[in-house]
Amino acid sequence: MHALTGAYSLDAIEGRQLARFERHLRRCRDCTDEVRGFTATAAMLGLAVATPPPAELASGDRVGVTVEPAGGTSRPPTTPIVVLTVPA
């Protein structure tokens, strides 16, 4: 039952499976919390706005992306830093 939280959050289950999951949901706090999180995320995605790409991308010029370890090479990698390089 626990694996259905994502599908339930997206209204992707129905019938007997939906009824069984909703019964499970009434007594499972983990699934309730997970459904709440998925539902909030789905709502935010629904509010996302598409924006046109920068002119450099629209013109077909290449854009480079590299991922470097945070703090350079002298320290062990932690959170990587993404460097976006756009041609001048």
Residues that bind Zn ion (CB under 5 A): 2, 28, 31
Residue 35 CB, nearest distance to Zn ion (Å)? Answer: 9
Angstrom distance (rounded) from CA 86 to CA 81: 16
Residue 24 CB, nearest distance to Zn ion (Å)? Answer: 6
Residue 21 CB, nearest distance to Zn ion (Å)? Answer: 9
Q: Are 54 and 86 in contact (CB under 8 A)?
A: yes
Nearest to 69 by CA among 87, 53, 52, 83: 83
Measured from the CB atom, is 2 or 36 closer to Zn ion? 2
